[in-house]
Chains A and B, each alone.
Chain A
Amino acid sequence: MWAGLVTQLLLCVFVIRLFELESRTFYHMCLLAVGGFAVHAVLPIRYRLAFFAALSLVATAIVLGVMDTGWLVAVSAVLIGICHLRTSLGTRIGLLVAAGGSLAASRAGWVPAPWSESAWPILGSMFMFRLALYLHGLRYEETRPTVPRTLAYFWMLPNACFPLFPVIDYARFTRLYYDTEPYAIYQIGVQWIARGLTHLLLYRLVYFHLTLSPAGLESLGDLLQYLLATFLLYLRVSGQFHLIVGLLHLYGFHLPETHRLYYLASSFTDFWRRINIYWKDFMMKLVYYPSFFRLRRYGNTLALGVATAIVFLTTWLLHSYQWFWLRGGFPITTQDVLFWGVLGALVVVSTLREAQRPRSPRLTPRGWSASRALRTVGTFSAICILWSLWSSESTSEWLGIWEAAGRITLRDMLLLTGTLLLGLAIAGWAWKPPTLAPGQPVAFFRNSTVVTSATLVGLLVLAQPTVSANLPPGPKDIIQSLKLTTLNTQDAALLHKGYYEKLDNVSRLRTQLWDVYGNRPPEWREGLVATEAWRKRNDFLLGDLQPSTSVDFHGARLSVNRWGMRDRDYQQAKPPAVYRIALLGPSLTMGSGVDDSATFDAFLEKRLNQEVGGAGRRYEVLNFGIPAFTLLQQLALLEDRVFAFQPDLVVITGHAKLADGLTTHLMQVISQEVAIPYQPLKAIIAEAGVDESWRGIPIPFESVRSGLRSLGVETRLPWREAERRLHSKEPEILRWALARLVADVQANNSVPVFLALNVVNDARERNPLLLKAAEEAGFVVLDLIDVYDKHDVSSLRVADWDRHPNARGTQLIADRLYEELERRESIFNLGLTAPRAPPTNPLSGGTR
């Protein structure tokens, strides 16, 4: 049996490795956990708890390092010590609140902590709820805790990797420890680990294939997909919780399920009982029963209703409390209030209805039932809607998504009907009904070992490249996406946006993005706009670099010359025998996170002067890059100041998401009521139905707006709706801007160049339509999208959480750009090819 379990666990490890599930740290922890299990299972039982606690300590030390782990041990000693003081319970609670308050002050950044930022989520996870349950256990449990048991409870092995941890009850942790045959407990653990891995893989499918941006919903079908995907993303949490509790089973903790077919809840009360069961139990123990017992003198019905309402109010507040310890913010948003308020009200009503009705038998009926199908599909749909509200960035964004419901196609109707029928067919069955006889023998093919092993082997087969290689494109893409560890399109766009803007809704970011974004140190959380190197403007540019400043930004020195360029000083008038290249673009061009001497323009200028300069010939590469500058801002900047420097080449930098930024910029311009200096652009915006004046109350739905307008109320589009409309015009705006740029550059006797270049993403991101549009507009296109290929991308990034190229990356860009210029010598006349005859025009004095 031991060998069989170890074999199944090794299969799990292979699956984790091949699909790169969760983090690298998780993989290492799993290796440790499997090795630990192999030893633990054969140890005499009296040594097992101590062994588990020691193993957990080692895992934490591997993840956090010895120093941080040492600090966690010290904090643990103080907090657990307080719990055991020989004083009244009230005094101990008071002391714990005081200690927690001191830690909270440090977590909020008011008092410096001696440990690193990454230790906070683990510290929070260990103590934020468990202390309350531990104190409760000390007060009411008959068995006194031993040192190994207490350490095992607070230092649980999976905690090192999973700060978001199920709230494990101390009483259950104690009572269910080896409460049945050990190998049966271990087998449940392996089964749940395999189930957790399956959830995580399904999550990837949803994340890469179903998620949509709320601003991009075009029809009812999109809306349905969005609502469904938002709720299905919860698979990651249920997957992680299965892994956590499965791992704990390997060490004898026979804990109950954390989730039980929660997508098949047949009422709101049933949903509350099935999803995150440990949280429900925690609330029952510390909030629901104490409230009910205090209130029942007023009657059971009232007590039930009020106690349930208190549970939801507490859950809402504790949700923010939990986020405070794990992520550092304390989100109090309208969406949270509405979500918990509405769900709470629905559960209260559902509970009271159940309390009024005669009790229905718990274990029947089995088979398919139309009533159950309708109730389950109804509950699922309502939860999808509520979940989308909870996950939205704002209530106005959420209201905005419903406009898509009015745009219905035949495909949408077929999709809706098909989904509904499938849902009813699945939901009508009694899946895993409670049974009085769980110990009945099962058929061989339903045996846990067989099912688990077959699942794991199946996953391993799927992971083989030869399997997907022989499939048609659709299934091939789906299987390959199971192995993707990158961000999806929406999150990559958000990350990109986050380079420039302080994402004030950081606490609401999806977990996948948070894995990247949330790891930033505090000094990385502000953009350049928060430094003195930024100058706010009230014109179409909205802002630019403050001339003659120098700051430390993202770990590098960033200096701005007197002309507002992130560059060394230049004369405005082009000196004789100088070939000038003007580089325009966003932070990628400016060189975010690299020193002044390590921007790609600096490397290029140096190489040009070293290799082909001299003998009266010089090259100047002027960096006009400004963070977050869109194509429209590059156009405005070009006309504002670049031509005064008489460039021979004007290089516009465009990344794959160039069009995305257009809407962001225009929304800022419109909302700040800044004048738009281009008549054709104004016409496109008007055609999109977006009013430039941006006055009045934001109201969703045109019919409501016109109704209010007829009553004399000034209304406007909600932000997200305006954004969606502008988004649909991005290709048109892009084409217009490209054509105008080319016309401007050519009118100033310069050569327009479009440099296609991305930040260092996990996978090459190409936008062929953008390149084609640039070429058709008249640009010479230099395609550097593949510049990072054949390199380990993580070695080219400024930091794990910042995908701008570091000095090694900018050197690669400069070298490749040099080669591209050299290849097109006949167009640019830089004098890069042998024999080094002086170019005819560019070096003649700059009067082209």
Chain B
Amino acid sequence: MDEIIRTVKDYILTTYLAGENPSALTASTPLISSGILDSLATVELVSFLEQRYEIELEAHDADPSRLGTLSDIAKLVQSKLATRA
């Protein structure tokens, strides 16, 4: 779980938050409602997660309730990995 959070955090910091203080992005920082991830970024994040973890996400997985925070994302990835296993 922590590993997933770390990987996704790195991706978000590099892609969307260059120059920001990394410690300010926590597991519970709202990503969508705060404007960090818009629809385009969400789609890019989905592609990243699918490639990085070799999982397949569905349309309803792109919901803010599943990608809203790093913690939500980690939970989603973990559940997909569990299903795949």
Name A435's closest neighbour in chain B (CB-CB): B34
A398 at the interface (CB under 8 A from B): no
- The interface centre, meaning the residue of A136, A256, A290, A434 with most chain B CB atoms within 10 A of its CB, is A434
Q: In the complex, what's the smallest C-beta–C-beta distance from A323 to chain B, in angstroms?
A: 26
Q: Pick the residue among B19, B40, B62 that contacts A361 (CB under 8 A).
A: B19
Contact with B along A755-789 (1 / 0, CB 8 A): 00000000000000000000000000000000000
A140 at the interface (CB under 8 A from B): yes
Q: In the complex, what's the smallest C-beta–C-beta distance from B65 to chain A, in angstroms?
A: 5
- Interface residues of B toward A: which range? 20 to 34
B-facing residues in A398-451 (Cβ within 8 Å): 434-438
Q: In the complex, what's the smallest C-beta–C-beta distance from B27 to chain A, in angstroms?
A: 13
Q: Given contacts A136-B60, A361-B19, A437-B24, is CB(A351)–CB(B40) below 8 Å?
A: yes
B-facing residues in A454-472 (Cβ within 8 Å): none
Asked whether, in the complex, the Cβ of B64 is within 8 Å of the Cβ of A361, the reply is no
A536 at the interface (CB under 8 A from B): no
Contact with B along A255-279 (1 / 0, CB 8 A): 0100000000000010001000000
B-facing residues in A300-333 (Cβ within 8 Å): 300, 304
Contact with B along A717-733 (1 / 0, CB 8 A): 00000000000000000
B7 at the interface (CB under 8 A from A): no
B83 at the interface (CB under 8 A from A): no
- What A residues does B41 contact at CB under 8 A? 359, 362
Q: Pick the residue among A136, A172, A355 that contacts B40 (CB under 8 A).
A: A355
Q: Given contacts A292-B43, A434-B36, is CB(A285)–CB(B17) below 8 Å?
A: no
Contact with B along A353-369 (1 / 0, CB 8 A): 01100010111100000
Q: Pick the residue among A355, A363, A364 that contacts B36 (CB under 8 A).
A: A363
A288 at the interface (CB under 8 A from B): yes
Taken together as a complex, chains A and B put the C-alpha atoms of A281 and B65 apart, in Å, by: 12
Asked whether, in the complex, the Cβ of A171 is within 8 Å of the Cβ of B40, the reply is no
Asked whether, in the complex, the Cβ of B20 is within 8 Å of the Cβ of A359, the reply is no
Asked whether, in the complex, the Cβ of B43 is within 8 Å of the Cβ of A304, the reply is yes
Interface of A is mostly: helix
Contact with A along B1-35 (1 / 0, CB 8 A): 00000000000000111111100110001000111
Interface of B is mostly: loop
Asked whether, in the complex, the Cβ of B62 is within 8 Å of the Cβ of A289, the reply is yes
Q: In the complex, what's the smallest C-beta–C-beta distance from A253 to chain B, in angstroms?
A: 14
Q: Pick the residue among B20, B29, B47, B65 that contacts A175 (CB under 8 A).
A: B65
Taken together as a complex, chains A and B put the C-alpha atoms of A438 and B33 apart, in Å, by: 12
A115 at the interface (CB under 8 A from B): no
Q: Please, could you name 7 A-B residue pairs with CB atoms under 8 Å apart, sorted by A?
A: A140-B60, A171-B65, A285-B63, A359-B15, A436-B17, A436-B29, A438-B34
Other contacts beyond A292-B43, A363-B20: 20, CB < 8 A: A140-B60, A141-B65, A172-B65, A281-B64, A284-B39, A285-B60, A289-B62, A293-B58, A293-B59, A293-B62, A294-B59, A355-B40, A361-B16, A361-B19, A364-B20, A434-B35, A434-B36, A436-B34, A437-B24, A438-B34
